Amino acid sequence: MSLEYTSSEMMSVTAARALENGMTCFVGIGLPSEAANLARLTHAPDVVLIYESGTLQTKPDTLPLSIGDGELCESALTTVAVPEMFRYWLQGGKVSVGFLGTAQIDRFANLNTTLIGDYKAPKVRLPGGGGAPEIATNAGEVFITLKHSKRAFVKDVDFVTTLGFGRDGKGRDNVPNIGKGPTRVITDLCVMKPDPETKELVVVSLHPGVTREDVIDATGWEIRFAEQLESTPEPNENELTILRELKARTERAHAGE
């Protein structure tokens, strides 16, 4: 019997399943944080979660609203200064996966969180790079999760804040001491992976009930599909229950002072 779930829940569960037990994950705020904590509360109890606020191996009971909520520090193994976090733990090669969100992503998985339009006269000013530019290059690999839309999935980003594979797909070639880069992109419609040769994102798995046309309509370039296109496994009851409890706890916590 099939369970009822939303496309957002499908995205979070699929993103969570990407994390393996024992990985060390540098977590971005928002959807990545939701997925990473769901992983920790389900199949990956020993996943190590690190947030850029310096909180190392943290186990928050509710999802943080900001990257530096007190809950992250109180439930962490230890909290280090921010320079140490970026220098020793990230740049030092102790992070196996960076988990990022973004405002815009292009076919080579470059991320834009800087602005829409021209830099000197922006149409929309976005928050900026934050930790992402160095997470994306210093972590062993990168997972990206965001909602699928034509506004977000563009052929070429307006600004490369954070390297995927560069404007030509060759941005990581012959660069020493650099991670593998984005290895999967998880949306509310599908999972994409970079083509091993060209590095262009290719749909490898469609979520249940999603058609190729749905993905084509929500993508700003001529998206390709893998020859052996898979169907993403549905969430199970345990994952949905834990995700919903986590979100309910979080909502209650953020509604109060």
Catalytic residues: 52
Task: Choose between 3 and 77: whose C-beta lies nearer to another protein.
Answer: 77
The residues, any chain, with a CB within 8 Å of residue 20's CB and separated by 6 or more, are 44, 47
Task: Choose between 9 and 34: whose C-beta lies nearer to another protein.
Answer: 34
* 87 belongs to the binding site for another protein (CB under 8 A): yes
Report in angstroms how near the CB of residue 23 gets to another protein at its nearest: 21
Helices (H), 19-140: 31-41, 70-74, 82-84, 132-138
Strand partners, 58: 76
* 73 belongs to the binding site for another protein (CB under 8 A): yes
Of 49, 44, 2, the residue nearest 19 (C-alpha): 44
Residues within window 1-60 making contact with another protein, judged by CB under 8 A: 29-30, 52-55
Q: Are strands 141-145 and 182-186 parallel, antiparallel or unpaired?
A: parallel
Report in angstroms how near the CB of residue 65 gets to another protein at its nearest: 4
Computed on alpha carbons and rounded to an integer, the radius of gyration of the chain in Å comes to 18
CA distance 39 to 204: 21
For residue 192, the SS3 value is strand
Contact status, residue 129 vs residue 114, Cβ threshold 8 Å: yes
In degrees, rounded to 5, the angle at the alpha carbon of residue 149 between the alpha carbons of residues 143 and 150 is: 115
* 174 belongs to the binding site for another protein (CB under 8 A): no
Q: Which of 144, 163, 206, 246 binds another protein (CB under 8 A)?
A: 163
Name the segment binding another protein (CB under 8 A); options: 14-22, 71-79, 202-210, 216-224. Answer: 71-79
Task: Choose between 5 and 108: whose C-beta lies nearer to another protein.
Answer: 108
Report in angstroms how near the CB of residue 221 gets to another protein at its nearest: 19
Report in angstroms how near the CB of residue 36 gets to another protein at its nearest: 15
Of 112, 172, 97, 104, the residue nearest 142 (C-alpha): 97
Report the largest interatomic distance among the alpha carbons of the chain, rounded to a whole angstrom.
55
Q: Torsion over CA of 114, 119, 122 and 124, rounded to 10 degrees?
A: -10
* 133 belongs to the binding site for another protein (CB under 8 A): yes
Residues within window 94-123 making contact with another protein, judged by CB under 8 A: 110, 114, 119, 122
* 140 belongs to the binding site for another protein (CB under 8 A): no
* 200 belongs to the binding site for another protein (CB under 8 A): no
Q: Which of 34, 69, 200, 239 binds another protein (CB under 8 A)?
A: 69
- Residues in contact with another protein by the rule CB under 8 A: 29-30, 52-55, 64-70, 72-73, 79, 81-83, 85-87, 90-91, 110, 114, 119, 122, 125-134, 137-138, 159-163, 166, 171-172, 175-178, 253-257
